[in-house]
Structure 1
Amino acid sequence: MDFEALQTFITVVDEKSFTRAAERLNLSQPTVSFHIRHVESYFDATLIDRSPKRFVVTQTGEMVYRRARQVMGVMEKAKAEVYEFQHQLSGTIHIGASYTVGEYVLPSLLKQFDDKYPAIDLRVQIQNTERINRAVQLHELDIGLVEGQVHHQGLSSTPFMEDEMVVIVPEQHPLRETDSVTFEQLQDQTWLTRESGSGTRAMMDSMLEAYNIRPSKLITIGSNHGVVQGVKEGLGVSFISRTVVEHTQAEDLIMSIPYIKIATRYFSLVTPVNEEEISNHAAVFIKEMKQFLSF
C-alpha cells in the first residue's frame, strides 16, 4: 500500500473536496485523483461516489477511512519512536541543589527525567545555597536548585515552588506549658539552625532580627534532618521549612507562635544569565522540570 496515497484519501474525505485536498497537500489535482484511484484499486471498491456536483463517501469508503486513520496514526507513532531512539540524548548533566530541595523535592523530578532520557547521566551535588550559586557561576554545575536568594553576578533565578517556614518546638518544652506565649518567653531560648550560607539560616536570621528575638544560644547543624532530630530530642526550637517537617513526619512539632508569622519563600532555578551558556542537555532538563512542576 502507498501510504502517501492513503494520506491523500484521508485528506480528501476530511476536506470533502479534491480541490481543497490538493491545496492542503500542495499537490496537483490530477495527482490527488491518481492517489484516490490507486487506493480504490487496492481495495477493489468505489470509495467516493463523485461527479462534478456530487461528493459522497460510500459505506466501504467510510470503513476504509476509519482504518486508514488508525494505520496512519500507528505509522506516525512508529516514526516518532524511531526518531527518538536514533536521536536519543546522551551525556551528563551536573545539577546542584541546596539541602531542602535536593533531599525532598529533586528525587521525584530526577525519576521523571531519567525515565524519559535514560541515556543521560545525572550528577547531583547537594550543598548549601551559597556554594551551589558559586558553582553555577563558575560553570562547575550546569544548573542549581536553591532555596535562598541569588545575588551573584552572571546568574539568573526563576522561582518554581513556594515553601513555608514554620516554628518547631520539642514536645516537652516550657513554651508548650502555657496557653498564650508571651514575648518575654521567646527570649533567651536555644535555637537550632543551619550553617551560614544556607537559605534556611538566612530565613531564621531575618526572622530573629525582624521580631527582635534574642537567642541564648545558637546550635548549628549541617543538615535539615539533623535539625529536626535535635528538636525531637529536646535540644532547642527551630525555624525550618514545612517541606522538611512534612517529609520527616514531624508535623506534631509545629507550634503557632503569636509573635511570629509563618513566612513564605520560594525555591528557585539558577542558571547562567546568558542563555548561550546553558548546555542543550540542561535546557532539556529545564523544559521537563517546568512541565513536571508546572511553573
Structure 2
Amino acid sequence: MNLKQLEAFVQVAEGGSFSKAAKELFLTQPTISAHIAALEKELNVRLFVRNTKEVSMSDDGRELYQYARQIIDLQKKIEERFESGKDGGKHLITIAASTIPAQYLLPKVLIQFNEKYPQEQFKILETDSSKVVTQIVDHVADIGFTGTVLEKKHCRYIPFYKDELVIITPNTEKYRKLQEESVGNIKWIMEEHIIMREEGSGTRKEAQKQLKHAGIVTDNLKIIASIENQETIKKSVRQGMGISVLSKLATADEVEAGFMLAFPIPKADKGRDINLVYNKNYQLSRSAERFIKVVKEVYDIER
C-alpha cells in the first residue's frame, strides 16, 4: 500500500468515477484501475461496486475511506509545512508556450499562481507550437501551451481557450470600403500581398485550414513574407506592406485604436483551441499539478 494508491482511491470515492479521478490526478484511467486493484488485492476486500452507470463504495470501501482521507489530509499538511521554507519550498516549473498563450493568456495564470504559491518559481520557453509539443515529448518542459494538436505519443491535451482568427488590414479607405461592401466574402484577398506567420506556427496552420473552409486556395495566395514575430507582422500591415491572418486576441488593441481593420473569416467555427499539454509518461511534480489546477480555475475548465 502506498500514498498514490490511497490518493487514487479517495479521488474515485469522492468523484464516483475512474475517468474523473484520472483527470484530477493527471494519470491514465488504466493506472487508476491498477492502483485500486492493487489495494483490493492487498487488503483482500472489494472497495467499489461497479455497474454500467456509476461506481459506489462497498461497506469496506466506506470504512477505508475514513482512514484514507485522513492520511491524504495529513500528507497535504506535511507538504504545506515543509514546503514553506525560504529555500526548501522553491520549485522550478518549466513551461513551453507558443506566442498567443505566452503573451496573452499565461500572464493572468502566472499572477494568480504566484498569489497562491509565492514559493514557486517558473521558467517560460516561448517558441512555436510544434516545438512546444517536441519539448513536452522530450521532457524538456513540464507543461506546454499550444494552438496545435500533434499526434505524438504520451501527450495529453486539455483545451482551455477558444482563439478566433481574423484577417487584418491597414485602416485605409480601400479596406474600409471592402469592409462595407464585402460582408461574408473574402475572395478579394486573392489579389492582396499576404504576410504569414512562420512554418510550424499554430496560427499559420489554423489560418490555412480556415481559409480553405472559406473557399480560398492557400497555394494560390500571394504570400510575400513569413515572419516569426507577430509584432513585426502587425507593424508591416499598418505600414501597408500587406495583409495577414492573426489571432483576434493579439490584434484587439490595434483594431480598437483604429490602426488596423479586422475581417472575420466566413464559415470559421468558434475558433481554434488553445491547449495545455503534458507528457502522460512522466509523473508530474506537485508544483506542476498545482499549476494546471490554477489554469483550470482561471479559465473555468471542468475538472
* TM > 0.5 fold call: yes
Question: Are the aligned partners of 1:173 and 1:234 in contact in 2 as well (CA < 8 Å)?
Answer: no
Other structure's SS at 2:111 match: helix
Partner in structure 2 of residue 254 of structure 1:
261
Question: Are the aligned partners of 1:200 and 1:241 in contact in 2 as well (CA < 8 Å)?
Answer: yes
User: Structure 1 residues 173 and 191, CA, compared in 2 at 3 Å: closer, same or farther?
Assistant: farther
Question: Are the aligned partners of 1:147 and 1:265 in contact in 2 as well (CA < 8 Å)?
Answer: yes
Partner in structure 1 of residue 278 of structure 2:
271
Offset at 1:84? 3.4
> What 5-or-longer segments of structure 1 have no aligned partner?
1-79
User: Structure 1 residues 112 and 258, CA, compared in 2 at 3 Å: closer, same or farther?
Assistant: closer
- State the one-letter code of the partner of 1:225: E
- Is 1:87 matched with 2:88? no
**Partner Cα separation in structure 1 for residue 283 and residue 96 of structure 2:** 16
Summarize the alignment of residues 280-291 of structure 1 with structure 2, pairs less than 5 Å apart. 280-291=286-297
Moved over 4 A (4+): 80-83, 257-263
Offset at 1:173? 6.3
Partner in structure 2 of residue 177 of structure 1:
177
- For residues 158-193 of structure 1, the C-alpha deviation after alignment (integer angstroms, 9 at most, x for no partner) is 101111111111112634334423665332311111
281-290 or 182-191: bigger deviation? 182-191
**Partner Cα separation in structure 2 for residue 209 and residue 258 of structure 1:** 10
Mark the structure with the bigger radius of gyration: 1
Offset at 1:128? 0.5
Partner in structure 2 of residue 188 of structure 1:
191
Other structure's SS at 1:103 match: helix
- For residues 117-171 of structure 1, the C-alpha deviation after alignment (integer angstroms, 9 at most, x for no partner) is 2222211100010011000100000010111223222211010111111111111
**Partner Cα separation in structure 2 for residue 235 and residue 228 of structure 1:** 10
Partner in structure 1 of residue 137 of structure 2:
137
Question: Are the aligned partners of 2:167 and 2:265 in contact in 1 as well (CA < 8 Å)?
Answer: no
Identity in percent: 24
Paired positions, count: 214
**Partner Cα separation in structure 2 for residue 166 and residue 212 of structure 1:** 14
Offset at 1:87? 3.3
**Partner Cα separation in structure 2 for residue 141 and residue 293 of structure 1:** 22
User: Structure 1 residues 118 and 183, CA, compared in 2 at 3 Å: closer, same or farther?
Assistant: closer
- Is 1:116 matched with 2:116? yes
Q: What value does the CA root-mean-square deviation take over the aligned residues?
A: 2.5
User: Structure 1 residues 141 and 257, CA, compared in 2 at 3 Å: closer, same or farther?
Assistant: closer
